[in-house]
Structure 1
Amino acid sequence: MTNIEYLKEWIGANPLVWSMIKFLIILIIVLTGIQLVRRYLKRKISNAIIRYKAQKGIEILGYVLLVLLTFTYFSGAIKDFTIIIGLFTAGIAFTLQELILSIAGSIYIFLVQVYKPGDRIEINGIKGDVIDVDSIYTTMMEIGQWVSSDNYSGRIVKLSNAFVFKGPIYNYSKDFPFIWDELELPIRYGSDMDLTKSIIIKIASESLSEYTANSKSEWESVVKKYYIEDAQIDPTLSIKLTDNWIQFNLRYIVDFKKRRFTKYLLYDKIRMEIENTNGKINLASSTIEIIKIPEIKLNLDKNQDL
């Protein structure tokens, strides 16, 4: 018995296999036809918008035709129909895996409360304020990029909810709507250091008292909810000696949406207080001191051979 005769006998003994082969041939013909029509429309339609809609329409009609052919082809055999429905479902799941992940992500966001409209988050390298969460997309008002600090860039970003399963999510406001920030101040050697410390601490305590008071109760709730060490809420000041100046570092807590304005307020008040010290405190800056200019000798003998 030749291989061809054996194959025919095997196919005859397994009608399901032959049925599946015929269905695959029909599937290939329909998909090929869809691609040929799409390419024809791409060549013949010059308007980009109309061309895109026409191609999408043909694609959708092709898929609808495939579904109808599937139901028609396998309607006579319940066993075959069950098998093909399983294969069809697996194909749909593979094809639409991103959409399915997005829908699952929206359910996860809602149940676990990963974030909600009004929260400031960073996800997939994009930072912004959440302005809407639907079944597929999270919509954010972007901050940063080409603008400094935490200002809006003006771009509205739509991000697939599937990204909640693909990487870290930084939430600036969930459970604890405050962040720690730092301010650095270079002071020249020879300045009144004790006076400098008192000025910085006084201004920080006065300007940040509201944030400090409001954040303490919030932080207590975070410590009770999570396995985390207690942290210093009040403003703290540290000093570092460098080659050029004394570096004052003020660490403080602030509302996550008011970081830029608060830093500006602190700098401005400290500047005015330093100016009122009549030279007791001086801000430092990078300087270059030239110790000696090396002597340069020029030989201007015209008779010397060049």
Structure 2
Amino acid sequence: MGRTGYLALVGAGALYAGRRLVDRVGIGTRVLDTGLEPVLLTGLSMAAVLFALLAGYDIFGSYLLARTESKRRRHDVRNLLRLVFGGLALIAGFGIITREWVSVLFSLGVLGFAITFALQQPLFSLIGWLYIIVKRPYRVGDRIAIEEMRGDVVSIDFFVTEVWEIGGDLVSTNQPSGRIVTVPNSTVLSARVVNFYGEGVQSVWNELSVQVAYETDVAFASELMVETATEQLGEEMAQQVAEYRERLHETPVELDVNDKPTVNIVQQESWVELRLRYIVHPRRGTRAKNALYETILARFNDHPERVKFPVSRNR
């Protein structure tokens, strides 16, 4: 972007100069009993305006995008510019053809009321897009859940949001299924939207559950699980918890957030369940859980006299 805009600006100037020349010299030729001069003047005016709007979109867009570091913001800025300049092109086109700007604006207002009933869903989706841009329930790159679908947002257009599905019917873990799911933007106005990336906190709490027998030294096993999690996630978790606390400080919510992993003990009918609680990046949840399981089970097996597993058939 940028160079194309300046070329379009030159083209707009040349087209406007051509229109002035035709208007001054005049063309008396007629085609099918229609004067060629009015048609040519209208066509040159239309082309000049469209080239000028293209130049404005390209130059202004290049200026804004160059000063926008976030890839997500650039996506939103590009869509907003398309909407604004597309609307200006539509109004300018009708105004040039009819030469009645006030009538055009009035007609567009009346037409807007008429198409509201005929195009309810597209309009609701456009309103949903405006809501997404303003309120930010999710952005490009976020991992979200809408109704029964979960995935990573890859695109937010005027009417639909494209999501790279995770889980679903094809896989059972939090891994991409390879399918792209298209969700109407109007869904955010009526359905529950879960964003796994909180504002300023790109992490979620996760749990890992291990079942042990009643004969187990529960305190020892719990300490071993916390030690393992701290070794693998401690530094990263401390940073994420700091961000989490900073975000909580901006809200009226008061929660006690632990700096380190913790273990909750749940008594079941034939065994004891040790639930390791820790914080992790949403995209690394499965990888982290697998690594923790492997290490924790290996350490438990190194201490068979203190950690025992249930063997009951009711397990």
Q: TM-score range by the shorter chain?
A: 0.5 to 0.7
Asked if the contact 1:211/1:255 (under 8 Å) is kept, the reply is no
Classify the secondary structure of the residue corresponding to 2:140: coil
Residue from 153, 159, 184 that aligns with 2:209: 184
- Tell me which of 176, 180, 192 is aligned to 1:152: 176
Deviations 1:64-114 (A, max 9, x none): xxxxxxxxxxxxxxxxxx999877543311111111111121122112222
- For 1:210, the equivalent position in structure 2 comes to 235
* Structure 2 Cα separation of the partners of residues 98 and 256 of structure 1: 32
Give the unaligned 5+ runs of structure 2. Answer: 1-104
> Which residue pairs with 1:135 in the alignment?
158
Match of 1:267 in 2: 293
**8 Å CA contact retained: 1:119, 1:174:** no
**Paired residue for 1:228?**
253
Q: Find the residue that maps to 1:258 and give its secondary structure.
A: helix
| Offset from partner CA, 1:254-275 (integer Å, 9 cap, x none) | 1111111111111100111111
Q: CA deviation at 1:202?
A: 0.9
- Mapped partners of 1:285, 1:255: distance in 2: 34
Distance in 2, matches of 1:265 and 1:154, equals 24
Stretches of structure 1 lacking an aligned partner (at least 5 in a row): 1-81, 289-306
Asked if the contact 1:244/1:286 (under 8 Å) is kept, the reply is: yes
- In structure 2, give the amino acid aligned to 1:283: F
Secondary structure, aligned partner of 1:131: strand
Distance in 2 (CA, whole Å) between partners of 1:258 and 1:114 is 22
Asked if 1:241 corresponds to 2:267, the answer is yes
Within-5 A mapping of 1:1-306? 89-146=112-169, 147-175=171-199, 176-233=201-258, 234-287=260-313
**SS at 2:283's partner residue?**
coil
Report the Cα offset of residue 244 of structure 1: 1.0
Shift of 1:177: 1.1
More helix by share: 2
Query: 2:31 maps to what in 1?
Result: none
User: Kindly tell me: are residues 107 and 280 of structure 1, through their superposed partners in 2, closer, same or farther at Cα, counting changes over 3 Å?
Assistant: same
Deviation for aligned residue 1:217: 2.3
AA matched with 1:219: Y
Secondary structure at the aligned position of 1:173 is classed as: coil
Name the stretch that deviates more: 135-144 or 88-97.
88-97
| Secondary structure of the structure 1 residue equivalent to 2:246 | helix
Change (3 A) 1:245 1:95: same
RMSD, aligned CA: 2.6
Q: Which residue of 2 aligns with 1:296?
A: none
The alignment-based identity, stated in percent, is 29
**Structure 1 residues 106 and 84 mapped into 2: Cα distance closer, same or farther (>3 Å)?**
closer
Task: Please report the TM-score for the alignment, with normalisation by the length of structure 2.
Answer: 0.61
Contact 1:180/1:252 (CA < 8 Å) preserved in 2? Answer: yes
Query: Any idea what SS the aligned residue of 2:194 has?
Result: strand
State the alpha-carbon separation in 2 of the partners of residues 258 and 285 from structure 1: 32
Determine the C-alpha separation between the residues in 1 that align with 2:149 and 2:291.
28
SS at match of 2:214: coil
113 and 243 in structure 1: CA distance in 2 versus 1, 3 angstrom threshold: closer
What's the TM-score once normalised by structure 1's chain length?
Answer: 0.63
Task: Choose 1 or 2 for highest CA Rg.
Answer: 1
